[in-house]
Amino acid sequence: MSWLLLTGAGLLEIVWAIALKQAGGFTRFWPSLIGIVSAIVSFVMLSLALKQLPVGTAYAVWVGIGALGVAIAGIVALGESASPARLGLLALILIGVIGLKLVEA
């Protein structure tokens, strides 16, 4: 259950980061509200996952899911660079997240 909570928290990190990008410095109400609410829920889910998982592993996985997801969303939806170097480095983040899950399983 803790890994499911952690994964959900990481996915919500993607939501809040993209919402805050769309909020334009909190000048647009709905993206701002979505960003704030999803950030709060993400933190709560992370804190619940921390009851069972080591803090270093949980935080690294949470940040990794968020960073990877936001970078992919930026490439797909926002036209950001998809250079081979960037994709390779993102793959390393994915390998790290999977590796941490396997080590802690």
- How do residues 68-100 score in pLDDT, each as one tens digit? 999 999 999 999 999 999 999 999 999 999 999
pLDDT at 30 over 70: yes
Q: Which domain holds residue 64?
A: 1-104
pLDDT of residue 104: 80
Count of structural domains, the chain: 1
Average pLDDT over residues 42-51: 98
pLDDT of residue 105: 66
pLDDT at 35 over 70: yes
- Integer angstrom CA distances of residue 49 from 1, 5, 52, 86: 8, 6, 6, 30
